[in-house]
Chains A and B, each alone.
Chain A
Amino acid sequence: MFKLIIKMAWKNSFLRLSRTLLVITMIAVSMSMMIGIQGLYDGMTANMIDKNKRSDSGDVALYEKEYRVEKELKNTIKNANEIKGAIENRAGVEAVVSRVRAEGLASTARKSSFAMINGINLSEEEHFGVFSDFLKEGALSLEKRDALVGIELAKTLKLRVGSKIIFSTQDSSGEINSLALKVSGIVQTTNISLDNSAIFMDREKLHAFLGTLPSEATQIAIKSSKEGLHKALKLKYPELDVKSFLELQPMMKQMQDMMTIFNSITFFIVMSVVFVGILGVMYVSVLDRIREFGIMLSIGMQYRYIRVQIFLEALFVGLTGYIFGATLGAFLLLYLRDYGIDLSAFADAMQSFGYETTVHGTIKISYFTTTFLAIMSASFLSVLIPLRKIKNLNPIEVIKAEK
């Protein structure tokens, strides 16, 4: 019996081909657009978070208690090397870097700007966050007096690879000191504050310039996906300021939350409208065949079989739409992930707001599973009203009635 019902449902689903194709197209186009947009927006946020972690704080970062309030050299972690070594040996820790940072004035012969010098160890940074990925121009070198400069700072100071800059700041003894550097490369981390003001130089040389000890650091950043590491480090180092990425970057958390809310609202509205579309077609499809259902009931077919048949019809249409939509959406997401959207025409704006000029999408299985559930639910719910109509039928009257 069920085999017959399935066969009838399948045939009836495509009885009015144009109408069914329109519904399938509606589902496919709206679904692929929706998951494309979700993937693009999620990809932009995820990319920003990933690069911010890799270029700066990692998943957890440690500072001296006062450092984040007063960013001065007196507030460095004194035994940074020892702490770094201990953290490196913890299970689940993928990489640890220590950095020293000072604010000051960067000047060329013609221009000056506020800048922040960062003492880093290139091989540590490569292991920590694949620093070479950030290089936009020049070479990744911190040899001799080489320095890497943030892309926005380079624009402000009109720097090119090979340009010379003077960085002036107060050293650890309170004296104003200057240092001549040569730009070996320009980097884009998509971390707004680094891109706007960072100069990267060799950590040991910066220690010597600032008069700080090589064992000191202003920041220890940890890369680890281990749950509970943040809490454990907080307990282990109560004298330090231990912060998770989202504590340090509440804006990122808010952006992520806003994106989730936006995507959920979009999803709900789109699915509601899709539901209205399927409902219209299913309702008319049932009304068109009301005599047919009357005959089926009067020759003894039970209502529950008709109900199953109509449910199946709606589900077949929904499923076909979903398959087309998922395929189209998957191609769209793959394209967005691999090629992205080139917004280099708006390069200045994108870079100053911490985005790359080509924005890439991301692919999550949840896009397909949630959409599947939503479309199937919409299809299922869309036949409830038509089914009520059939349930209240008087078969004889319906058969007698003129079509």
Chain B
Amino acid sequence: MFQLALKNILFYRGRSITTAVLTFVSTMLFIIFVSIQDGSHKSMLENSLKIYTGAIEIYHKEYRDTGGNEYLIEDVKTITDKLSEIEDIEAFAGRYETYGLLSSREHSAASMISGIDPAKERVLSSLKEARREGEFLSENSGNCLYMGAELVKKLHLKMGDEVAFVGSASDNSFAADILKLCGVFKTGLFEFDGSTSFINRSYFDSLMSAQNRASYITIKLKNMDDAQRVNSEILKLLNDDALESLTWKTLMKTLVEAMEVDSIFGYISLSLFFVVIFFVIMIYGFVNVSSRIREFGVLRCIGLSGANIFRLLFYEIFVLSSLAVVLATPIAGFLCYYFQLHPIVIEGMAEMYRDYGVVSDAIPLNFDIFTILWNLGVIYILNFLSIVYPYFYINSFKPIEASRHV
């Protein structure tokens, strides 16, 4: 039966070439499209996680929903001691965040001021790498502020300028101080760069009466894929109903959802191509089958069953699909791999889409064997489905009737 299928493929060249070419095109399109989509999503997520948000963060249960100083984490040390026992955690630190007004000589702006541990933050985030001017914070940087570039612009500050800070401390008392601009960072996240400043945690703790307290504890993992497992381990270890430990999937729910929506629209667009290509492959298969009704009639008359006819059609489409897939997969795979290492760069894209959190002009593709395999699976399934109608059509003829068909 397989040999007969091969013979048919070679004999009906027009149909064979069209089917193989269309399968080749759809395979290439599918693999590259999904790779671009996954690559850009992965890059957006990695950029966001790298900048500031942790893979896992621990909060007091009411802090994210209600907020307020009574929902700060108390006794941070006890928790961090427990975290040191987990091997899969690369680094962790408590952060104390508050909002306040910063004023230069003539200008004022609202800012989120975050007290961080400079040494730990070097490992936890890419804030140090985002430095554009001055210095990143150090253990001895005292009242130094490390400020977002857009906020510096708003306040018309120069390096070394003094800024007045007014806010409320962790005990709800009034807090004010004169701080000094020591460094400027630019992450590319427009809103973040326009509203955030960092200060040495130990200095800020005494100003805000926040010793051993934190808004949350951020955690970096050795392997991001372990987030769920490590999170369960943390929850078990903490064993405290007042605390919650959340993975990046919850912390970045909006971004994760946005990527899902983007994927939905991407697949809707892609489905259009597949439907058209599926129809054309089916039409060519059908035209081919309907011109071979007599041949199928004779085959049935000499004892071939309906299942054998189906096998014959199946072998034909399998060989043609495999031929196209074998050619398309290495090419598409190579392109995905190459553009993963050397991302496509669209100049000005980050600036244009800054409101959407796009921080880089680069669009890397994602090379993932598993993704390519399921892409190929879909192509095979579509091609196999295209023989269903031709098969039922040919089976609707009785063997004698088919063998006499004109």
A: which residues have CB within 8 A of B? 16, 18-19, 22-23, 25-26, 29-30, 33-34, 37, 41, 72, 103-115, 158, 168-170, 174, 176, 192-193, 196, 250-251, 254, 262, 266, 269-270, 273-274, 276-277, 280-281, 283-284, 288, 343, 346, 348-350, 352-354, 403
Contact = CB atoms under 8 A, between A and B. Distances in A.
Contacts of A110: 66-68
Given A22-B283, A26-B276, A353-B258, A193 B355 contact: yes
A349 B277 CA distance: 33
Contact of B280 (A112, A280, A348): A280
Contact of B68 (A23, A34, A109): A109
B258 A18 contact: no
Contacts of A158: 65-67
A126 B195 CA distance: 32
Contacts of B154: 103
Interface in B158-206: 166, 191, 194-195
Given A37-B268, A192-B355, A270-B272, A72 B283 contact: no
B384 interface: no
7 closest Cβ contacts across the A-B interface? A112-B99, A105-B110, A349-B257, A110-B68, A26-B279, A349-B258, A110-B67
Interface residues of B, number: 58
| Main DSSP-derived SS at the A contact region | helix
B22 A284 contact: no
B18 interface: yes
Contacts of A29: 275, 279
Given A112-B110, A158-B66, A266 B258 contact: no
Contacts of B353: 251
A204 B207 CA distance: 39
8 contacts: A34-B272, A104-B109, A107-B99, A114-B110, A158-B67, A170-B108, A270-B273, A284-B291
State the majority secondary structure of interface residues on B.
helix
A393 to B, nearest CB: 19
A176 B291 contact: no
A17 to B, nearest CB: 11
B283 A19 contact: yes
Contacts of B284: 280
B108 A169 contact: yes
Contacts of A37: 268-269, 272
B287 interface: yes
B74 to A, nearest CB: 17
B356 interface: yes
Interface of B: 14-15, 18, 22, 65-68, 98-101, 103, 106-112, 154, 166, 191, 194-195, 253-258, 260-261, 265, 268-269, 271-273, 275-277, 279-280, 282-284, 286-287, 290-291, 352-353, 355-356, 389, 393, 406
Contact of A266 (B99, B272, B291): B272
Contacts of B283: 19, 22-23, 26, 277, 280-281
A348 B272 contact: no
A276 B22 contact: yes
B280 A349 contact: no
A19 B279 contact: no
Contacts of A72: 107
A105 B273 contact: no
Nearest to A177: B108
Nearest to B287: A284
B261 A346 contact: yes
A77 B284 CA distance: 69
B268 A254 contact: no
Contacts of A111: 67-68, 99
Contact of A22 (B67, B111, B282): B282
A305 to B, nearest CB: 26
A344 B277 CA distance: 32
A258 B393 CA distance: 43
A114 B195 contact: yes
Given A349-B261, A352-B258, A273 B99 contact: no
Contacts of A348: 253-254, 257
A16 B272 contact: no
Contacts of B109: 103-104, 114
A113 B99 contact: yes
